[in-house]
Amino acid sequence: MQLLRLQGMAGAYEAITALPLNRQPEAHELIAQLTQAELQHRTHRRTGMFIKLSKLRFSARLEEIVCSSDRNLSKKQLTALADCQYITRSENLLITGATGCGKSFLACALGHQACLIGFKTHYFNLNRFVEKITLSRLDGTFVKMLNQLDKFPLVILDDFGLQPLDQSTKLALLQLLEDRYAKRSTIIASQLPVAKWHEYLGDPTLADAIMDRITTNAHRFELKGPSLRTKKSQ
C-alpha cells in the first residue's frame, strides 16, 4: 500500500491489524473501511493543497462570518453560497463596503469554502495583480499567466479601486474577465460602490466592456456598519 502511495489505506490497515483478532472486521467490511480511509486521506490532502495554492489573505471560515441586519448580510444569503453552486453556474460575487467592514474576510471565507468543496481558488489584492501583470509583460509570460488563471474555477480580486489602473492593466483585466466570462467565477471586493466602478475605470469603451463582464450574472453584497478592526481593537 505504501509503495502504491495509498497512505490513508496503509494507516488504517496498520491500526486495524493492531486490534485483537476478535475485534478485526470481516474481509468485505475491512475493504470498505480501507477504501473510505484512503478517500478521506486524499480529500484532506487535496484540500490542504488547494488552500496553500489559493494564497488567501486571511485564514477565514464561513462560520466565523457575523451576519446581522446592521451589516446588511443575512444568514440566508451566506447559506446560499455555502454549497458553491455559484461557481458551478459561473456567477460572480461583488462585495463592497467601507474600510474595515469585513469585505476581504468574507471573500477569503468564501475562497476557503470553495477549496473545501473542491474548487481551486486564487487570491490577489490589486497591487499584487498589477505587479504580476507588469512582470509577465516584461518576461513574455502574460499569455501563460492567463492560461494558468483559467484553470482556477474561482479567482478573488481584492482591494479593487484603491489605486489607478494604467491602460495596460485595464486591457489585461478585460482579457482575464473575457476568458472567464460564463465559464469561471470571480469575486471582487472593493471600497467603491459598484455604481462608481465605471468612473474609476476611466476609458468609457474599456469601462463598458469590463463592467459588462463583471456585473452580468453577478450577486452583490453591500456590507455596512462600523469598522470591525476598530471594534476588535477596542
Residues 43 and 152: their CA atoms lie apart, in Å, by 18
Alpha helices (H) along the chain: 7-17, 27-54, 75-82, 85-88, 103-117, 126-139, 142-149, 167-180, 197-201, 204-215, 228-233
> Is 186 strand, coil or helix?
strand
Q: Which pLDDT does position 40 carry in this prediction? A: 86
Q: Which pLDDT does position 38 carry in this prediction? A: 86
Residues 127 and 124: their CA atoms lie apart, in Å, by 8
Q: Which pLDDT does position 1 carry in this prediction? A: 85
Q: Which residues, given as ranges, of the chain have pLDDT below 50? A: none
Measuring CA to CA, which residue among 169, 122, 126, 171 is closest to residue 150?
122
Q: Which pLDDT does position 232 carry in this prediction? A: 56
Q: Which pLDDT does position 100 carry in this prediction? A: 85
Q: Which pLDDT does position 24 carry in this prediction? A: 84
